[in-house]
Structures are given as structure tokens and as C-alpha cells.
Amino acid sequence: MDSGFERSPEQEALIADWTPPGIDTTKPHSARIYDYFLGGKTNFAPDREAAEQTLLAVPYARTAARANRAFLLRAVAHLARLGIRQFLDLGTGIPVEGRNTHDAAQGIAPNSRVVYVDNDPIVLVHARALLSSHPDGETAYIDADVRDPDAILDHPALVRSLDLDRPLAVMLLAILHFVPDDEKPADLVRRLTERLPSGSYLVLSHLTGDFDPIGTGGGANVYRKSGIPMQLRSRAEVEALVPQGWELLEPGVELVSRWHPEPDAEFPDPADIGCYGLLARKP
Ligand SMILES: C[S@@+](CC[C@H](N)C(=O)[O-])C[C@H]1O[C@@H](n2cnc3c(N)ncnc32)[C@H](O)[C@@H]1O
């Protein structure tokens, strides 16, 4: 439809150059590189350059990103069917239209409550989209670093939205490979989950070099050279992130594409995924 509105070339140039305030668009960022792989538009030239370099080493990065997001939605739906109504989604990423945690949870149980956490200001800009809750449920957004569990668990927005005396799901999807060993990721998971009651769940996904060490090693180098810490982990190392005593749900630590796939799912080559997923339950 013709709106009858035309922009001058000067206005077009201004819009093309516009960047949200407070966001450093001169350096690539993990959330925006991932957005590029998923086909989103919330990315800038340095993000696209880093993503294209990554694709040279890991040509299947788009397939892997889509498979990870599909795992997120299946895992949340699975937990909603098991009766979980509270979700703490850490490292949320840039929202994907209709494919966010609250969409999957509230699609099954409209009264589900979701608290999103990310430390990237670009995600904060999009928080409004994350807050489009079903009226029977609730969503909230916290701008915080996953490496500071107490700040997250004691945050007023979390305390208002979630009841830590009732089971909830802690979600750490495609985030812990940005936390190297010297920052003690297993300790972090323990601190994020130790206050939770029995019947709570952990959902985790994590990049691995188990299937294509050379390609994924090259991809991880692109991130590191861009200033983004990245550590790939083996199946055993991913399993070791699960707090002691928690029970792994079937099928255990599995490629995200193979974790309870949809009946009509296609199975890409494991080397084209390179990302493990798991669900665990606190007994
Ligand atoms: C690859 S995206 C994954 C998005 C989503 N979890 C998914 O699996 O589809 C990783 C997200 O983690 C966020 N992130 C990375 N390090 C973080 C940290 N230390 N604290 C909070 N968020 C972090 C990034 O900003 C980005 O949004």
C-alpha cells in the first residue's frame, strides 16, 4: 500500500546510520552473530563479518543455530506438559517472532511465567517483544550477567515473578560455551540451581568439537579473535556441568537435533550440528 510518505535521501542516510543508544556496534557480539545465523535483521556489519568468517570454518552454523532453537522450543513444551509453569531463561538472545520461551510455554499453559536474563544491551532494546505475555501468565526481563547468580536470584523482578519454593526450569541454552573453565561454569550452574526445590529442571545446550574438531575449532577462533571468549566442550565435559545428584532425562546428553525430535524431523549429519542438549531433574 502506498502510504504517500516519502523520505529524503538525507533521512534515508540518517536511518541507515542509526544505532540504538548505548550499543557498541563496532565490535561483533555473540547475540547478533547468532541472530544473523537465524536469519534475523538485528545485526551490524562487524557481526555479519564475524558470522561470514565463522561460516567459512563451519558452513553448517545456520543449521546448528536453527536446530538449537528448535531444541529450546521442544524442551520448554516438554516441561510445560510435565506441569512446569515457571521458567528462568538465561542468555535469552534476540527475540525470534513467535519462537521464544514464553511462546512455547504459554502455547501449552497460558499461565506460565518466564523471566528472561541477558547482559547484552541489544537484547534489552528488544525486551518489549519478550514481554508480550499471555494475560493469564507473566514475563519479565532482567539485564544481568549469568556469572552473578545471586544478583539474578535476588533480583526484585525475579522475586516478583517466580516462586522459588515451587519447581521451576533453569534454562542455559547456547550460553555456557561463552564461560571458559577459569570462570568455573559447573560452579555457576550449581549456584543457580542449589536453592531450587525438588522437581525443578535444568535445560542446557552447548557447542562441541566432538564431531568436527577442525571446523568448530576454526569457528571458535573467529569468536575469540573478535574478543568473545568461547570454549567448546566434549560430551563428558557437558555432562559434568549438571549438578551432582540431578537425574539426566532420556536420552541423556544428545545432539540437539536428536533430542526427542519431531516425528517428521530430518536428521542432519551429526557433524552438521555440533551442539549437545540435555534435560536434568532435581530429585
Ligand atoms: C547464542 S545466544 C543463545 C540464545 C538462546 N539462549 C538460544 O539458545 O536460542 C547467547 C546469548 O547469551 C548471552 N550471553 C552471553 N554471555 C552472557 C553472560 N555472561 N551473561 C548473560 N548473558 C550472556 C548473549 O548476549 C546472547 O544473547
Indicate whether residue 180 lines ligand 1 (CB < 6 A). Answer: no
By alpha-carbon position, which residue is closest to atom 20 of ligand 1?
A: 145
Indicate whether residue 178 lines ligand 1 (CB < 6 A). Answer: yes
> Given the CA of residue 33, which atom of ligand 1 is nearest to it?
1
Angle between helical axes of 61-81 and 45-57 (0-180°, round to 10)? 100
Domains, the chain? 61-281 (3.40.50.150)
Of the candidates 175, 202, 177, 181, the one whose C-alpha atom is nearest the C-alpha of residue 191 is: 202
- The pLDDT of residue 9 is 65
Ligand 1 centroid to Cα of residue 111, in Å, is 25
Ligand 1 centroid to Cα of residue 217, in Å, is 20
Main-chain dihedrals φ then ψ at residue 224, nearest 5 degrees: -60, -40
Residues 6+ apart with CB under 8 A from 255: 67, 270, 273, 275, 276, 277
By alpha-carbon position, which residue is closest to atom 9 of ligand 1?
A: 69
Indicate whether residue 93 lines ligand 1 (CB < 6 A). Answer: yes
- Segment 69-104, tens digit of pLDDT: 999 999 999 999 999 999 999 999 999 888 999 999
Ligand 1 centroid to Cα of residue 89, in Å, is 10
Ligand 1 centroid to Cα of residue 145, in Å, is 10
Ligand 1 centroid to Cα of residue 206, in Å, is 11
Query: Which residues in the chain land under pLDDT 70?
Result: 1-21
Indicate whether residue 112 lines ligand 1 (CB < 6 A). Answer: no
Coil, helix or strand for 107? helix
- CA torsion 191→192→198→199, rounded to 10°? -150
Ligand 1 centroid to Cα of residue 3, in Å, is 38
- The pLDDT of residue 4 is 43
How far, in whole angstroms, is CA 97 from its chain's centroid?
14
The preferred substitution site among 23, 29, 30, 68 for testing ligand 1, maximizing ligand atoms within 8 Å of CB, is 30
- The pLDDT of residue 1 is 35
